[in-house]
Amino acid sequence: MTDAASLKSDLLAAVEGAADLASLEEVRVSALGKKGRITALMGDMRNLSPEERKERGQLLNALKEEVGQALESRRDVLKKQELAKRLEAERIDVTLPTRPEAEGRIHPITQTIDELVAIFADMGFTVAEGPDIESDWNNFTALNIPENHPARQMHDTFYLPNSPEGQARVLRTHTSPVQIRTMLKQKPPIRIIAPGRTYRSDYDQTHTPMFHQVEALVIGEDIHMGHLKGCILEFARAFFQIDDLPIRFRPSFFPFTEPSAEVDIGCKRSGGELKLGPYGDWLEIMGSGMVHPAVLENCGIDSSRYQGFAFGMGIERIAMLKYGIPDLRTFFEADLRWLKHYGFVPLDQPSLAQGLTR
């Protein structure tokens, strides 16, 4: 059985010399495959006598088992080696600082909207949304805005081709159409805020063609001006995080509210800086008023039974005031340096319990 001893020596040497799993598989096939060397020797036993066949079979079975065990042992070693190489190649030093260029930031507009939602949700408001492309009726007519109103002029509003039904369409100039849509499909009581994009044909340091607004609407049977004042007072003090921030309401006019009022907050201007608080001066931040009865009737709500209030403000404007951002246009210039300076850490989600900003 010199040939079997020689074969054993060759195969074990080949197993030990396999450098990787692919090479080891080649050795296995050459030894134990259908056309392998051990398989070939076992096939030659047909011509042997029963005694010789028994002896040769025992010897080859022992060789087959020994080679199989050697293959298995070598496979375990090679698997561990390959795993070690892979772990080394994929190793991450967790003690290293993060790369500054990979750090994401929340845009101030997104952060401000999240803060608004947190504040008003605590007051029981829900968020309502609507399309950016609106019908002329939702954007103007239903809101009691007359045909000759300056807001309807081409120099202020982006008009679009009529709808297939022939209805005039615009890029919404405010988020008030969301109020109309809500009142048309929902019965009172209603308590919503409507944040979103709006569009007007204007561009300078304090105006852009696209900007963001948030509007609030409350409709019920016993709503009065005191509710409006209390709601705005709580909002302003929570948002600007000034407990004694003074609020002033000045009579004004809006077609969709009656009576109407501009809302001012306390501030001071000195040394080229603006500081909010009880300092004797005033700064306008929003418009407000009791919903006009004609608007309620346009939406199928009985104005003799229900009344409500509404107010709205520019999101960029209040963000600029709170975070000291001097130019509205920079919100939309996609400058990563600006975003790194004014942006917010993603995991710092605003809440009234833990604080709006940290």
Q: CA-CA distances (angstroms) from residue 332 to 195, 325, 335?
A: 17, 13, 8
Mean pLDDT check: name the lowest of 100-104, 127-131, 134-138, 291-295. Answer: 100-104
Q: Where are the domains of the chain?
A: 2-89, 106-342
Confidence check: pLDDT of 318 > 80: yes
Cut 0.95: pTM above it: no
In angstroms, the CA 175 to CA 177 distance is: 5
Q: Is the bond into 131 cis (omega within 30 degrees of 0)?
A: no
Give the mean model confidence (pLDDT) for residues 299-327.
94
pLDDT value at 154 more than 70: no
Q: Which of 266, 313, 306 is CA-nearest to residue 288? A: 313
Domain 106-342 - what CATH class?
alpha beta
CA distance 71 to 79: 12
CA-closest candidate to residue 198, choices 233, 167, 172: 172
DSSP state for residue 106 in the 8-state scheme: B
